[in-house]
Amino acid sequence: MVKTKEDGCLRSALYWFPMPLSLSIAHLGPAGTYAEQAAFTYRHWFTQHCPETQLTLVPCPSIALTLRSTATGESDLTVVPVENSLEGSVSMTLDTLWQLENLQIRQALVLPIVHVLVSEASRLQDLQTVYSHPQALGQCQRWLEQFVPQATLVPANATTEALKLVPGTPTVAAIASQRAATLYNLPILAAAIQDHPDNCTRFWVVSQAGFDGIPESSQPHPVYTSLAFSLPANAPGALVKPLQIFAERHINLSRIESRPSKRSLGDYVFFVDAEAQRDNIELQSALAQLTDYTEVLKVLGSYPLLDHLFPLSSDRSFLLES
C-alpha cells in the first residue's frame, strides 16, 4: 500500500482511513515526570502535523503498565524511556517489550534532562535524605557525593513521587525537574545538578502493530530498526555469528546490550539497534539469515528519530498545558 501525506497526516493511495479524532498517550506518572514532559513534547509535535486530532495524556504508575495499557488497547500510544546518556538503558522498558507480542516502536525522540534539588532546607549541609528515581540518583551521583555526602540516597518509583516527601521536612530533598517543582509549589535548593550538562534521555513512541494513526514528518530523520533475540545455546561464538551477519552487510549497530532472559542464570536476551530501515535490502537479508542463528527473533520496530523537536521554539508554554 502506497502512503501519501495530506495536511501532514497519513493517507493511503488505495484506501482512505481518516485520522482518529481522539487518541490517548500513556506515560509514567504522576504529573511532572520527565516521561510526562516527553509525552507533552510529542503531543505538541503530533498536533502540529494533525491539528484535528485530540490527544489525551494518561499517567500510569509504572513503565510496565504504560506499555501494557497500549498492548491491551486501553491507550493508543505509549511514550516510554529507553536509554539515558549517563545511566544507560531502562531495563523495565526492554524487559516488557520482550514479554509483549503485539507492540511496535513507531518513533523516537530525545529529551534534554535537567535536574534540580527540591527542598525546604536553607542549606545543603542540613539535608539527611535525598529521594528520587534510581536513574535520577545515578545521573547526579558525583554532584551528590561532592555537595551532600552526608545524605542517604533513597530510590523512589518516580521523580515526582519523591516530591511528596519534601513538604514539612527540611532535612529531606528530592531530585526532579524544574517543572515538577513548579507544579507542586516547592522551593528549589540547587539547579542543574546532573553530572553532565548534555544529559538526555531517548524515548520510544509505541503502538500496537498495525496501528495506522501516526503522522509523518516533513523533515528527513535518521531511521533505526530495533531487534531483540535469544540464542539457541550458551556456547562459544554463539553471539559472534549474529553480529557477523550485520558486519558482512555493512550495517552499523548503534546499540548492543544484553538482559537476563529470566529463565536461568547466564541465559540472555540481546537488544540491537541497526541503522537501517526495515525495507532495506541488506537488512532484509540479514533478518532472514538471523533466523538460522537465533532461538527467538523479534523486530521491535523500524522508526525515525525525531531529532528536530528541541528546540521546538522559544515558546515552551505547551509544557504547562493539562
The structural domains of the chain, ordered by start, are 3-112+199-218 (3.40.190.10), 116-191 (3.40.190.10), 223-305 (3.30.70.260)
Cα–Cα distance between 109 and 127 in angstroms, integer? Answer: 35
Which of the four pLDDT bands, split at 50, 70 and 90, describes residue 262? confident
pLDDT computed for residue 159 by the predictor: 82
Report pLDDT digits (tens) over 135-166. Answer: 899 999 999 999 999 999 999 988 888 899 99
Average pLDDT over residues 229-241: 90
Which of the four pLDDT bands, split at 50, 70 and 90, describes residue 316? very low
| pLDDT above 90: residue 206 | yes
| pLDDT above 80: residue 11 | no
| pLDDT above 50: residue 119 | yes
In the chain, the largest separation of any two C-alpha atoms, in whole Å, equals 67
- Other C-beta atoms lying within 10 Å of the C-beta of residue 211: 17
Closest CA to 162 of 190, 123, 129: 129
Report pLDDT digits (tens) over 44-83. Answer: 999 988 999 999 999 999 999 999 999 999 999 999 999 9
| pLDDT above 60: residue 13 | no
Which of the four pLDDT bands, split at 50, 70 and 90, describes residue 315? very low
Report pLDDT digits (tens) over 81-96. Answer: 999 888 889 999 999 9
Tell me the pTM.
0.84
pLDDT computed for residue 18 by the predictor: 54
pLDDT computed for residue 217 by the predictor: 73
- List, as one string, the DSSP characters of 202-260: EEEEEEETT----PPPSS---EEEEEEEE-S---TTTTHHHHHHHHHTT--EEEEEEEE
Contacts of 63 (CB under 8 A, 6+ apart): 28, 35, 80, 81, 90, 92, 93, 96
Average pLDDT over residues 28-39: 91
pLDDT computed for residue 292 by the predictor: 95
Closest CA to 301 of 5, 89, 98: 98
The residue ranking higher by pLDDT, 238 or 11, is 238
CA 179-117-308 angle, to 5 degrees, is 45
pLDDT computed for residue 87 by the predictor: 84
Report pLDDT digits (tens) over 266-310. Answer: 889 999 999 999 999 999 999 999 999 999 999 999 999 997 665
pLDDT computed for residue 236 by the predictor: 86
pLDDT computed for residue 127 by the predictor: 97
